[in-house]
Structure 1
Amino acid sequence: MTDPIDDKADDTASDNKGDNAEELSFAELFESYDTKISHELNQGDKVEGVIISIGDKSVYIDTGTKSDGVVGKAELLDENGEFLYKAGDKVTLYVVSLSESEIILSKALSGAGKATMLKEASQTRTPVEGKVTGVIKGGFSVDIMGKRAFCPVSQIDVKYVENQEDYIGQTHHFLITRFEESGRNIVVSRRDLLNEEIKEKQKVFFEKVKEGDTVQGTVTKLMPYGAFIELIPGVEGMAHISELSWSRIEKAQEVIQPGDVINVKVLKIEPSKESDTFKISLSMKQTSSNPWDSMGSAFNTGDQVSGKVVRLTSFGAFVEIAPGVDGLVHISEMSHTRRVLRPEDVVQAGDSVQVVIKSIDMDSKRISLSIKDALGDPWTGASVRYEVNSVVEGRLKKREKFGLFIILEPGVTGLMPASNISNAANPSDFEKLKPGSSVQVMIQEVDEDKRRLTLTSPDQKEGDNWKQFAGNAKTKTSGTMESLFLEAMKKKKDTK
């Protein structure tokens, strides 16, 4: 059983312990408060504080002193007019004015001030607010807290200034680089301040962004070998032309233009050999899936598809059949009707063509295509279209010592041997033909497999007509007529 006296003693000890804890806490708080008092700020001081709270128009900052700081919310908006901070974030600001209860902070000194403040600002490199009032020789006239300052044209921006008038009326933050003659000679630079801001943003960028990340950037310049893309001010990367699109392109401007905002994948970040910056390799095409990944289900051998000629070589033409997927039409697969020596004799870059897929090699990502298979082989069915002994009209292609080549249709050419010409009823009719002249011929023999077609004259000499009549008679006559014909042929043979 517990003694009540002991319980009371325990309670008293517990109360004393609580008092000690309270005293300790109070001591710590007092020490902290005393520490803050000892770190008083002065006008123009640079302060790195932590955001305590965010209001509709003001942001409150823990300055590390007994008084909290306040800055206009509008001053912390980014270049797109967005407020990206949250409670707990650190910000770097400058003391504009202060009282016992409040410290007014800003990103730069502004308002009506004295020459002593400007001199201190030049010594401490404190940004000051200024308005560009006009263009003068070599630069700009800037109003800094009621005093006239000069900003060289090379110091107004980090980029090349094409039109100075564009800056008139703009208000910016500047650093005072020269303060002489009690403020009668003031030179300022915005470029130095921008470079400092850029370095800070670069530091944050490279801490967050790693190889393999996808980021947004703006196209700044196009070159024959690719495109330069600004990721943040002062940080630029390059996308090689082969990384701009899965499709085969000749020029970067086929897919992008300067000023375009695009997503890119960071392929590599490495220190530059020329300076203390980084060389960044980017890819636009790798932000989307590789079209070859779906090739197996999209196309099959034997399919006839339409495509666009994207590139010509000495051995053929590359035809794009899907975005980023192109195949080769070898020069031997371009025409059934003629012998092609140069691809440009058949197609030109940009032409739309029908092709047949002959083979697909997924491992090496190669596709073999054929234009002539899509057009069809004119020799297919030639033996049906050109029956032996039938008379057709052709056109003289060329004359050789051994005979005449006569075109019956595109891709189908027959030969009339010299012997058949001499056996014609009027050989001179064939001898005076010129290339392109029309002529009637008779089909003597057709070999579809070997692509050979032998022609003769429809009006052969009498002896040859008997041979022709004999060929026809075997299939078209019978009875007495057939007997008479065979007997006449036998007699003719015996007399030789």
Structure 2
Amino acid sequence: MEEKNTTMGTTETMEDYKEALEASYRRIRPGDIVTGTVIDVNDQDVTIDFNYYAPGRIPVTELSDDPTYHVLENVAVGDTLTATVVKTDDGAGNMLLSCKDAAEELAWDKLQEAQKTKKVYHVKVAGAVNGGCVAYVEGVRGFIPASKLALEYVEEPADYLNKELDVQVISVDEGAKRVVLSAKELLLAKVMEEKNKKINKYTVGTVMEGTVEQLKDYGAFVNIGDGITGLVHISQISDRRLKHPSQVLKEGDKVKVKIIKIENNKISLSIREAAELTSREVEEEGPAEYEDNGAAATGLGALLKGFKLN
């Protein structure tokens, strides 16, 4: 039967006490994982409300294993935390909880999912060890190899101590409690994005000057400016058949090239077609006319200059 109380103009029903009643019937035991809202934070512990008759208390030492973790910087009133019940009574009427235990139990599934989805974590390097650095993701210690800290191999991982990096999970081994992270893939993606923006500014058919950077058996790589390099296939270097580009080119040569293809963010160039185009333009302009001193001249006056008419 529903009870009503109209004191002070308010009406209360059993529905108003639903959450409190449900909380009173809940049976929570050590080892259970609970989720609640932070209602108090200090430098000693965090208190959460998880709809139970007693609040939950999480000592600072049970929040994270990450040595860079600071409770007053990382936790605020209103945040949602997940923790494992350590004791149902800490001696002061609170549930004693541990975020570290819950993180350990839940983290591996999260990390395996993060590897599949290529989730990006923003981390702070917490330590330098032999062959790389240490950072924490999902509360778990992760290893970043020296070859994965930057685009190039890092000789001194200690130089990265306390630096902030964006990383992805590239390997998860729950049995060995090992997580491998990498910043390199994200850095490469950023470089490629910038390169693609530059490449999109070019159009097929454009003729420009470039510098031969490198010779290979199959062609020559030519820098056309702004950090962009295109390939001149050996068949596009000359009209005659070449055994090796070095027969007509050397590194450092300035050459005219024509963009003949842009595909998969790669530029294909042709020295041969650039030369043919230049040759056609010269032919279309007609034979050169010269003055007596060798300078080019045009017009009837220039043609008749020096002749006497009777």
Fold in common (TM above 0.5): no
TM-score of the aligned structures, taking structure 1 as reference length? 0.25
